[in-house]
C-alpha cells in the first residue's frame, strides 16, 4: 500500500477514490465524503514526499472509516438519527494511529445504526447495496466499509465486530475481514455497542495489507483499560499444522454452496499436507442465546448516554424532562435499537438478572473453555461465517429472530474473545460472494493472517 | 412506651485526589466556573472509556485503614443505571456490591465502637440548579471520587450520631483523603432512624433523612425523628418507610413527595474496567503512610490534657500534630495557647497553615515557666510568632524586641523598689500599709512596675515590698 517512491501522487489516489465513491453513489456506501479534507491532506503528503521527507507506512493511502469511529472530520453519527449533527472534538486512538502513518480518510461508511444489525438495513440513512448483487444486502453492521473495499473504492476500511459485524459483510462481499483478539486494538473513541465484545478491525483485499494494518493499529492504550499488553508485533506467526472443522456447524442448516466451499478449502489444505480433524464443540449452541442476552444488556447501558441533554439530536417542544428523554430516544433510535434496549433492560431488571444475565455469563465461560479445549486438538478452526449467503434486501427486516440466527456462527468468537478472519471463498452459481472464517486461539491473529495465504 | 432508637448512617466522602476518578481532569472544582472541570469522559461523549485513578485507590486504602477496616484484595465496579441530567452516562460507576473497603469500626471519643459494614468507591454525580422554567446542569462534580461509608445499626442516640459523623470527619481529614469542607459538600450524610420498643429484638420501620451536611443537622434531625416517631407509635400509628427532607430553618423533617415507584437500578458489571486486584505488599505499603489518627492522640495525650481541650485540638489536625512535636512538659501550656489564644483569633484559619516551630513554642513555654514572661506577655509573644515581620525569629529575640521580658533579678528589683519607696508620693501609701491597709500594696506594686517600664515580675516585686515594709 506504500506510495512513497511510486509514480502516482497521493492527490491522484485520493481524487480517484473520491471519483469512484461518487460513481457508486447509488450503493449508498458513504454517510459523509471527506472531499476537501482528503485532498488537502493528500497535497500535504505529496509536498512532504517532494521535499524528501520521511512519510508513514500508509502515506497517501485512501481509506474508508466506519461511521462509529470518532474523528474531527465530519459528523460521527453511527448512522443513528440521535447522533445527527454530532461533530466530535476527539479522535479515536485507532484513527490517530492510521493517520499518523499518512492514511487519508475519504469518507465515513454506512452501517446499521449503532452497529445493531446484520444487513446495514437498520441505518438511519437507508441500506447499502451488496457489491456483487444490488438486490442483496451488504451484510452488517459494517456494510458500507465492506462494499467500499469490494468495489475497490479504497485500499482498506475500518470496521467494528461485536457479533460478526466485520466477518459477515466481508463474507457477503468477498473481501478479507479480521475481528482481532478482544483488546488488541483500542476501543477509545469508537461508539460503544457492547463493551465486552466490541472489537476494532479492518477490511482489506489481501492478507499482507491486513498484517500491515494490524502492525499499525494494535497496542495497549492507557485510554482503554481493556486493551491487552502489546503482543502483535512480537508474536511469531505460529506454524499451523492441524485444521479443525466444527462438527456441529457442518450440518444441514448450512447452505449447500457454503458447505461445498468449505469442503473445497479443506481439500486444498489436505492437498498441501495439512491434517484436518473434526472437533465437537457442543457448548457453541448456547452462544447465540447468551449473546442476545449479554450484548443487549451492555447495549441498553451504553446507549443510556444518548438523552438529548448534551449533544446530538433533541426532540422538539418537550414540556418536561420525562418528555425530553422519551421523545428524544423515541424519535432518535431505530426500531432495532429499541428492541435491544428493551431486551437489555429486561434481562438486567431486578428479579430477572440471575435468570438471564447471570446464566448467560456462565454460558459464556463454558464457551471460552470450549475454544480452549478445541485448540488443544487443532491449531486453527475453519468454519462458515454464516449459514446462508447474502440474502435479499427486505427479506428478513420484519423477522428479527431470523436475522439474529444469521449470527450463530460469528457470535461465539466475540463471547470468547478469540480472533476470526474472513477469507474470500468464491461465489455461488448466482454470483453471490462467499467467505469462510479462520478462528484461532487468543493472540493468534498474525498466524491466522499468514495461514490464510495457504488457502488461496 | 419507651423506645430504643436505632440509627444507621451512610456517609459520602469526596476524595481530595488531584484528578477525577475516571479521567485526568482537575478534581478540585471549588471556585471554578460551572462545567470547566469536565473531560469528554465525564461528559460521556460517545466512545469514551473510564480510566481508573490510582490515587483514588490509595486514598480508599488510607480511608479504610483509618476506620480499622479490612482492605479487599479484589474489588470490582458495577454500573448503576438511572436517567437524570446529573448523570451524563446514564449510570453511576460504583463498587457497591464488590467494595474495596470491608468491615471495620470507628471508635467514638466516649469509647463506643460503631461497626462499619463496608465502604465503597464510586463516582459522584453532577449538580442541578432549578429555576422557574428551566434547570442548569453543572458537571464539575461528575466522577469526583467518593467513598460511601455504610455503618452497622450500632448508633442509638442522636448524640452518638453526631459524634460518629464528626469522628468520621476527623478520620478522613487526619488521613488526608478529604478536604473535609462540609460547606462545599465534601462530606454528606444520609441518616436512617427507626424505633423499636425496649426489649424488642426486631428493628422498627425506618425513615431516611438524606443529604445532611453538618454534624449539627445530623443530631437535630435524628432527635426530631426520634420524637416524631415516638409520638406516632404512642398514638398507635404506623411509621411509613420513606425518605424525608430536613430543614435547618424549621428544625423539622418532612416527607418528600417523591414518586413512590420502586427504583430498579439494573446493576451490571462495568465491562470497561477490569477488577481492581491489589497485592498484600501494595496495601501494606500504602497503609504504612497513614499518619497518627485521633485515637492515637487520645492515647498519647489522655493523661496530660483535659478531655475538652484534647477534643477541641482533635478538630484541628495541624494543632494536634504540632503539639506532638512540643516537649512533653510544655504540652499543657502550649495546648492552652492553641485553644484559648490562637483559636480565638479572627485569622486563626490562616494561622493554622503556618504554625510556629516546635522550638519557638518550647522556648515560649520555658520562658513562661521561668517567669521571664508574664502570662499576658506570653500570649502577646505567642501572637507575634504569627507576625509576618517577626515569625522566623527566635522566641527570645521577639520577646526582647517587644520589651516583654520580666525583671527577675532580685538585686535589680530591690534597687527599683528602694527608689520608689524613697519617692514622696508613696509615703502615704507606705504608712497606710503599715497601718494594716492591705490593698494599698497594689498601688505600690503598680508604681514599681511603672518605674521598671513594665518589665518587673510583679509577684517578686510584691514579695520585696512586703519584706521592706514589714
Mean pLDDT of B92-114: 97
Q: For residue B295, name the pLDDT band (cuts at 50, 70, 90).
A: very high
Nearest C-alpha of chain B: how many angstroms from A51? 38
Q: Which of the pair, B51 or B255, is modelled with greater confidence?
A: B51
CATH number of B410-469: 1.10.10.410
pLDDT at residue B259 is higher than 60: no
Residue of A nearest to B265 (CA): A349
CB contact under 8 A, A321 and B85: yes
CB contact under 8 A, B48 and A226: no
Can you tell me the distance from the alpha carbon of A219 to that of A203, in angstroms, rounded to the nearest whole number? 19
CB contact under 8 A, A187 and B40: no
Partner residue opposite B271 with nearest CB, options A68, A90, A298: A298
Cβ-based contacts under 8 A for chains A and B: 99
| B275 interaction partners in chain A (CB closer than 8 Å) | none
pLDDT at residue A3 is higher than 60: no
| A87 interaction partners in chain B (CB closer than 8 Å) | none
pLDDT at residue A301 is higher than 70: yes
| A225 interaction partners in chain B (CB closer than 8 Å) | 49-52, 272-274
Say what the pLDDT of residue A14 is: 97
Partner residue opposite B272 with nearest CB, options A70, A195, A309: A195
The answer, for A9 touching chain B at a CB cutoff of 8 Å, is no
- Please give the span between the terminal C-alpha atoms of chain B, in angstroms, as a whole number: 73
Unique residue bearing C-alpha cell 441533554: A309
pLDDT at residue A429 is higher than 80: yes
Say what the pLDDT of residue B157 is: 97
Residues in contact with A63: Cβ distance below 8 Å, sequence separation at least 6, in sequence order: A98, A103, A104, A105, A106, A154, A155, A156, A157, A158
CB contact under 8 A, A223 and B264: no
Per-residue pLDDT reduced to its tens digit, B166-211: 999 999 999 999 999 999 899 999 999 999 999 888 999 999 999 9
- The residues of chain A that CATH labels 3.90.1300.10 are 10-217
Q: For residue B218, name the pLDDT band (cuts at 50, 70, 90).
A: very high
Percentage with pLDDT > 70 across chain B: 99
| B272 interaction partners in chain A (CB closer than 8 Å) | 195, 224-226
> What is the bridge-based pairing of β-strands A62-66 and A104-109?
parallel
Q: Which of the pair, A68 or B430, is modelled with greater confidence?
A: A68
Say what the pLDDT of residue B30 is: 84
B135 torsion bin: left (phi>0), alpha (psi -120 to 50), beta (else): beta
Residue A141 annotated as catalytic:
yes
Can you tell me the distance from the alpha carbon of A163 to that of B390, in angstroms, rounded to the nearest whole number? 74
Cα torsion angle, B288, B291, B295, B299, sign: positive
CB contact under 8 A, A304 and B91: yes
Say what the pLDDT of residue A7 is: 76
Per-residue pLDDT reduced to its tens digit, A252-297: 589 999 999 999 999 999 999 999 999 999 999 999 999 999 999 9
Q: Which of the pair, A235 or A381, is modelled with greater confidence?
A: A381
The answer, for A68 touching chain B at a CB cutoff of 8 Å, is yes
Can you tell me the distance from the alpha carbon of B135 to that of B129, in angstroms, rounded to the nearest whole number? 5
* pTM, entire model: 0.91
Q: For residue B378, name the pLDDT band (cuts at 50, 70, 90).
A: very high
The answer, for A450 touching chain B at a CB cutoff of 8 Å, is no
Q: For residue B429, name the pLDDT band (cuts at 50, 70, 90).
A: confident
Nearest C-alpha of chain B: how many angstroms from A191? 4
CB contact under 8 A, B274 and A309: no
Query: Of A141, A171, A444, A447, which is the active-site residue?
Result: A141
Say what the pLDDT of residue B460 is: 84
Can you tell me the distance from the alpha carbon of A20 to that of A422, in angstroms, rounded to the nearest whole number? 25
Q: For residue A133, name the pLDDT band (cuts at 50, 70, 90).
A: very high
CB contact under 8 A, A309 and B50: no
The answer, for A195 touching chain B at a CB cutoff of 8 Å, is yes
Can you tell me the distance from the alpha carbon of B463 to that of B466, in angstroms, rounded to the nearest whole number? 5
Q: Rg of chain B over CA atoms, in angstroms?
A: 30
Q: For residue B456, name the pLDDT band (cuts at 50, 70, 90).
A: confident
CB contact under 8 A, B81 and A348: yes
Can you tell me the distance from the alpha carbon of A118 to that of A139, in angstroms, rounded to the nearest whole number? 5
Say what the pLDDT of residue A251 is: 56
The answer, for A297 touching chain B at a CB cutoff of 8 Å, is yes
Partner residue opposite A192 with nearest CB, options B47, B52, B273: B47
Nearest C-alpha of chain B: how many angstroms from A361? 11
pLDDT at residue A16 is higher than 80: yes
Q: For residue B455, name the pLDDT band (cuts at 50, 70, 90).
A: confident
pLDDT at residue A250 is higher than 70: no
How is residue B274 written as a grid cell? Answer: 477490569
Can you tell me the distance from the alpha carbon of A329 to that of A83, in angstroms, rounded to the nearest whole number? 11
pLDDT at residue A44 is higher than 60: yes
Contact assessment for residue B339 and residue B313, using Cβ atoms and an 8 Å cutoff: yes
Say what the pLDDT of residue B261 is: 57
Mean pLDDT of B336-364: 93
Say what the pLDDT of residue A239 is: 84
Instruction: Compute the mean pLDDT over every residue in chain B, rounded to the nearest whole number.
Output: 93
Q: State the complex-level ipTM.
A: 0.95
Q: Where along chain B do its domains lie? A: 3-282, 292-401, 410-469
Residue A242 annotated as catalytic:
no
Per-residue pLDDT reduced to its tens digit, A323-350: 999 999 999 999 999 999 999 999 999 8
Say what the pLDDT of residue A325 is: 96
- The listed CATH number (1.10.443.10, 3.30.420.40, 1.10.1840.10, 3.90.1300.10) that belongs to domain A10-217: 3.90.1300.10
Query: Of A119, A142, A145, A165, which is the active-site residue?
Result: A165
pLDDT at residue B453 is higher than 90: no
Mutation target vs A (from B47, B93, B139, B262; most A CBs, 10 A cutoff): B47
CB contact under 8 A, B40 and A89: yes
Packing angle of the helix pair B358-369, B375-384 (nearest 10 deg): 160
Per-residue pLDDT reduced to its tens digit, A401-415: 888 888 999 999 999
Per-window interface: A 231-270 vs B, CB < 8 A: none
Nearest C-alpha of chain B: how many angstroms from A308? 10
| B267 interaction partners in chain A (CB closer than 8 Å) | 348, 353
**Neighbour count for residue B247 (Cβ, 10 Å):** 11
How many CA atoms are closer than 13 Å to the CA of B289, on its beta-carbon side? Answer: 13
Partner residue opposite B89 with nearest CB, options A191, A304, A350: A304
Mean pLDDT of B421-432: 88
Q: For residue B258, name the pLDDT band (cuts at 50, 70, 90).
A: low
Of the listed ranges B22-26, B90-94, B99-103, B408-412, the least confidently predicted one is B408-412
CB contact under 8 A, A309 and B85: yes
Mean pLDDT of B143-157: 97
Say what the pLDDT of residue B232 is: 95
Amino acid at each position: 500500500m506504500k506510495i512513497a517512491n511510486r509514480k502516482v501522487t497521493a492527490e491522484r489516489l485520493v481524487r480517484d477514490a473520491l471519483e469512484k465513491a461518487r460513481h457508486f453513489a447509488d450503493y449508498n456506501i458513504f454517510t459523509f465524503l471527506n472531499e476537501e479534507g482528503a485532498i488537502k491532506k493528500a497535497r500535504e503528503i505529496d509536498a512532504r514526499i517532494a521535499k524528501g521527507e520521511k512519510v508513514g507506512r500508509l502515506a497517501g493511502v485512501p481509506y474508508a472509516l466506519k461511521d462509529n469511529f470518532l474523528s474531527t472530520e465530519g459528523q460521527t453519527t453511527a448512522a443513528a438519527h440521535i447522533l445527527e449533527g454530532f461533530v466530535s472534538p476527539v479522535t479515536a486512538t485507532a484513527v490517530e494511529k492510521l493517520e499518523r502513518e499518512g492514511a487519508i480518510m475519504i469518507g465515513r461508511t454506512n452501517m446499521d445504526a449503532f452497529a445493531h444489525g446484520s444487513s446495514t438495513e437498520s441505518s438511519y440513512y437507508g441500506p447499502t447495496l451488496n457489491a456483487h448483487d444490488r438486490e442483496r444486502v451488504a451484510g452488517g453492521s459494517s456494510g458500507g466499509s465492506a462494499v467500499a473495499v469490494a468495489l475497490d473504492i479504497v485500499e482498506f476500511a475500518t470496521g467494528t465486530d461485536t457479533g460478526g459485524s466485520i466477518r459477515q459483510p466481508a463474507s457477503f462481499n468477498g473481501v478479507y475481514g479480521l475481528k482481532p483478539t478482544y483488546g488488541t486494538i483500542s476501543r477509545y473513541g469508537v461508539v460503544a455497542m457492547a463493551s465486552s465484545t466490541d472489537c476494532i478491525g479492518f477490511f482489506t483485499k489481501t492478507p499482507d495489507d491486513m498484517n500491515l494494518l494490524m502492525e499499525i493499529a494494535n497496542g495497549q492504550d492507557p485510554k482503554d483499560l481493556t486493551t491487552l499488553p502489546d503482543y502483535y508485533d512480537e508474536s511469531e506467526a505460529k506454524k499451523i499444522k492441524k485444521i479443525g472443522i466444527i462438527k456441529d456447524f457442518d450440518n444441514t442448516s448450512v447452505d449447500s454452496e457454503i458447505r461445498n466451499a468449505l469442503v473445497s478449502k479443506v481439500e486444498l489444505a489436505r492437498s498441501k499436507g495439512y491434517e484436518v480433524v473434526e472437533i465437537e464443540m457442543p457448548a457453541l449452541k448456547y452462544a447465540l442465546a447468551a449473546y442476545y442476552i449479554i450484548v443487549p444488556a451492555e447495549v441498553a447501558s451504553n446507549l443510556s448516554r444518548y438523552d438529548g441533554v448534551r449533544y446530538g439530536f433533541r426532540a422538539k417542544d418537550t414540556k418536561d424532562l420525562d418528555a425530553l428523554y422519551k421523545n428524544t430516544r423515541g424519535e432518535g433510535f431505530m426500531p432495532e435499537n429499541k428492541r435491544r434496549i428493551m431486551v437489555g433492560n429486561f434481562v438486567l431488571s431486578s428479579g430477572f438478572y440471575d435468570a438471564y444475565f447471570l446464566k448467560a455469563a456462565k454460558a459464556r465461560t463454558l464457551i471460552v473453555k470450549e475454544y480452549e479445549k478445541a485448540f488443544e486438538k487443532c491449531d486453527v478452526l475453519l468454519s462458515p461465517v454464516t449459514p446462508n449467503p447474502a440474502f435479499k434486501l427486505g427479506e428478513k427486516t420484519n423477522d428479527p429472530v431470523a436475522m439474529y440466527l444469521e449470527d450463530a456462527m460469528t457470535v461465539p468468537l466475540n463471547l470468547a474473545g478469540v480472533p476470526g478472519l474472513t477469507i474470500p471463498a468464491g461465489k455461488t452459481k448466482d454470483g453471490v460472494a462467499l467467505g469462510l472464517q479462520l478462528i484461532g486461539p487468543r493472540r493468534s491473529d498474525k498466524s491466522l493472517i499468514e495461514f490464510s495465504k495457504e488457502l488461496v | 412506651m419507651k423506645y430504643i432508637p436505632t440509627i444507621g448512617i451512610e456517609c459520602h466522602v469526596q476524595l481530595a485526589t488531584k484528578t477525577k476518578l475516571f479521567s485526568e481532569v482537575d478534581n478540585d472544582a471549588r471556585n471554578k466556573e460551572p462545567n470547566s472541570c469536565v473531560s469528554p469522559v465525564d461528559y460521556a461523549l460517545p466512545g469514551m472509556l473510564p480510566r481508573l485513578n490510582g490515587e483514588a485507590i490509595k486514598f480508599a486504602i488510607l480511608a479504610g485503614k483509618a476506620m480499622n477496616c479490612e482492605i479487599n484484595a479484589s474489588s470490582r465496579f458495577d454500573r448503576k443505571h438511572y436517567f437524570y441530567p446529573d448523570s451524563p452516562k446514564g449510570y453511576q460507576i460504583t463498587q457497591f456490591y464488590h467494595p474495596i473497603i470491608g468491615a471495620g469500626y470507628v471508635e467514638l471519643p466516649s469509647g463506643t465502637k460503631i461497626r462499619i459494614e463496608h465502604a465503597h468507591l464510586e463516582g459522584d454525580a453532577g449538580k442541578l440548579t432549578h429555576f422557574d422554567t428551566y434547570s442548569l446542569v453543572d458537571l464539575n462534580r461528575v466522577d469526583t471520587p467518593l467513598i460511601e461509608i455504610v455503618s452497622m445499626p450500632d448508633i442509638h442516640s442522636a448524640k452518638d450520631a453526631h459524634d460518629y459523623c464528626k469522628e468520621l470527619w476527623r478520620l478522613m481529614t487526619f488521613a488526608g483523603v478529604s478536604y473535609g469542607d462540609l460547606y462545599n459538600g465534601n462530606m454528606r450524610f444520609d441518616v436512617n432512624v427507626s424505633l423499636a420498643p425496649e426489649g424488642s429484638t426486631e428493628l422498627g420501620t425506618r425513615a431516611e433523612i438524606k443529604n445532611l451536611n453538618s454534624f449539627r443537622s445530623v443530631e437535630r434531625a435524628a432527635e426530631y425523628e426520634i420524637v416524631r416517631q415516638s409520638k406516632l407509635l404512642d398514638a398507635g400509628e404506623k411509621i411509613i418507610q420513606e425518605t424525608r427532607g430536613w430543614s435547618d430553618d424549621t428544625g423539622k423533617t418532612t416527607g418528600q413527595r417523591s414518586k413512590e415507584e420502586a427504583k430498579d437500578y439494573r446493576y451490571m458489571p462495568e465491562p470497561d474496567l477490569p477488577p481492581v486486584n491489589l497485592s498484600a505488599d501494595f496495601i501494606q505499603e500504602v497503609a504504612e503512610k497513614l499518619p497518627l489518627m485521633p485515637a492515637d492522640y487520645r492515647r498519647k495525650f489522655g493523661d496530660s490534657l483535659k478531655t475538652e481541650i484534647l477534643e477541641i485540638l482533635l478538630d484541628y489536625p495541624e494543632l494536634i500534630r504540632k503539639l506532638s512535636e512540643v516537649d512533653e512538659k510544655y504540652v499543657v501550656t502550649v495546648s492552652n495557647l492553641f485553644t484559648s489564644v490562637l483559636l480565638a483569633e479572627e485569622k486563626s484559619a490562616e494561622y493554622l497553615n503556618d504554625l510556629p516551630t516546635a522550638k519557638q513554642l518550647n522556648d515560649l513555654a520555658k520562658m513562661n515557666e521561668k517567669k521571664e514572661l508574664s502570662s499576658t506577655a506570653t500570649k502577646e509573644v505567642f501572637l507575634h510568632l504569627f507576625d509576618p515581620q517577626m515569625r522566623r525569629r527566635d522566641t527570645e529575640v521577639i520577646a526582647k524586641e517587644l520589651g516583654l521580658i520580666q525583671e527577675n533579678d532580685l538585686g535589680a528589683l530591690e534597687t527599683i523598689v528602694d527608689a520608689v519607696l524613697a519617692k514622696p508620693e508613696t509615703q502615704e501609701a507606705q504608712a497606710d500599709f503599715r497601718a494594716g491597709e492591705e490593698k494599698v500594696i497594689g498601688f505600690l506594686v503598680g508604681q514599681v512596675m511603672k518605674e521598671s517600664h513594665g518589665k518587673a515580675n510583679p509577684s517578686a516585686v510584691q514579695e520585696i515590698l512586703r519584706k521592706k515594709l514589714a
